[in-house]
Amino acid sequence: MPAWHAVEEGYRELVERFGYQEIRTPLLEPIELFVRGIGDSTDIVEKEMYAFEDKGGDHLALRPEGTASAIRAYLQHGFQVESPQCKWYYLGPMFRRERPAKGRYRQFYQAGAELIGVAAPAADAEIIDMAVQFIESLGIGPVRVLLNSLGGEQTRPLYRKALVEHYSKHEQKLCEDCSRRLERNPLRILDCKVEGCRALSVDAPSVHDYLGEDDREHFDEVRRLLDKGGTPHQVEPTMVRGLDYYTRTIFEVQAESSALGAQTSVLGGGRYDNLVKQLGGRATPSIGFSFGIERLIMVMPESTHKEQVPLVFVAGVGKQSLDRALDIARTLRRQGRRVEVAHTGASLRSQLKKADKLGAAFAVIAGEEEAKRGGATLRNMTDGQQIEVRVDELSARLEELR
């Protein structure tokens, strides 16, 4: 949990510095939201989504990702009219029935950010920079950014046709999934992990040969701004994302780590300029990213795990000392200390054994003799040294010894 806290608190702190505000969406949404938003030919919708009909006859799904839900909220609650530019972030559980792999679970925790209503290449560069800053803030590195452009609405049909022509020549060598994708979603073949399909993709047409002039200028400006900001990146022409809503800029942040085996991607995202329109609004340029918290924790060095405030154990000694121990514990907690207290009149030896078992850094012994002098014994549980301290000075002395 210290690692989880480091990720969650570090993420909140960083994205809020960039002006993002938190949004929370429900775990259950109408199935149609994800079919229309993610795409009915994606692996998520075809094979991985937990979907069911409830007792009222509504067709629902456990959310497999966060962007579609955020855009549904954006439209449903009138943001497109009242506040068309939004900067949102989220954290929470998502659900996919995919094959287990390192750092991947069927209920997994994901965090992400959405910048809605801005078309400028500067938005792409800024959100990529924010993503890299966050990953590096966790002590993960070295990292690299893979970058590509899928172009706009005019690019996709041209590129799709070129891919169909290429892979049709080798259809017998495609895996079962990719044979099905050939007609429905040939871009997904580029992302297939089966060795035979990967080999066929080496000579596949490049999307960059089909980019329109506006798309090319947009991509070149994103790269220029990343270079100017000192964010190293590498263009990967065959990279695609697993969701159909992506357009123009897409990116992945990869980390060198043996913890994930062959899977090195820790964060991914891109533009989805058509998603708001697909879900019933007017065309609204947008960009975002997401990452799985479990995967990040696997590659984080332990030195960046959030340290808890040192534990203080308060022990009461003698029949009259329990009330005093409770009072001391209450005071220290209100001063921001993490405190455990013995609730029964066990022997001092027994209480100190419990303090040691809990990993307490210090013990405060509230004995009857010390009470007469308005003090308590402060014991260092590491080396056993102890001193008598006035109760009203306990917090200050603990701060000195920390």
Contacts 24+ apart (CB under 8 A), 220-223: 221/121, 221/122, 222/121, 222/124, 222/125, 222/128, 222/147, 222/249, 223/147
Strands (E), 119-162: 143-149
Q: What is the mean pLDDT of the chain?
A: 88
CA dist list (Å): 203 to 78, 167, 197, 242:
46, 10, 11, 21
Closest CA to 74 of 59, 90, 88: 88
Is 90 exceeded by the pLDDT of residue 126?
A: yes
Write the CB contacts of 96 (distance below 8 Å, at least 6 apart in sequence).
Answer: 44, 48, 49, 50, 64, 106, 108
Closest CA to 294 of 108, 64, 101: 108
Closest CA to 339 of 329, 324, 331: 329
* Whole-number pLDDT of residue 41: 61
Q: What is the phi/psi pair of residue 229, to 5°?
A: -85, 0
Placement of tokens 């002006």 in the chain: 19
Give the whole-angstrom CA distance, residue 44 versus residue 402: 49
Average pLDDT on 232-259 reads: 83
Distance of CA 275 to the CA centre of its chain: 21
SS3 193: coil
CB distance 186 to 164 below 8 Å: yes
* Whole-number pLDDT of residue 262: 53
CATH entry, 2-154+212-304, from 3.20.20.70, 3.30.930.10, 3.20.20.100, 3.90.76.10: 3.30.930.10
Give the whole-angstrom CA distance, residue 238 versus residue 230: 24
pTM for the structure as a whole: 0.84
CA dihedral 244, 245, 247, 251 (to 10 degrees): -80
Strands (E), 129-232: 143-149
Angle at the Cα of 302 from the Cα atoms of 297 and 306, rounded to 5 degrees:
80
Give the whole-angstrom CA distance, residue 342 versus residue 169: 75
Average pLDDT on 228-248 reads: 85
Higher local confidence (pLDDT), 398 or 93 = 93
Q: What residue spans define the domains of the chain?
A: 2-154+212-304, 311-401
Give the whole-angstrom CA distance, residue 363 versus residue 25: 44
Give the whole-angstrom CA distance, residue 40 versus residue 45: 6
Give the whole-angstrom CA distance, residue 330 versus residue 24: 34
The kind and range of the H/E element at 114 are: strand 107-116
If pLDDT is split at 50, 70 and 90, which confidence band does 258 have?
low
Encode pLDDT of 283-298 as tens digits.
999 999 999 999 899 8
Q: What's the chain's length in residues?
A: 402
Cis amide bond preceding 142, omega within 30 = yes
Encode pLDDT of 362-377 as tens digits.
999 887 777 788 888 8
* Whole-number pLDDT of residue 294: 92
Domain 311-401 of CATH type 3.40.50.800: yes
CB distance 389 to 378 below 8 Å: yes
* Whole-number pLDDT of residue 253: 94
Average pLDDT on 80-107 reads: 89
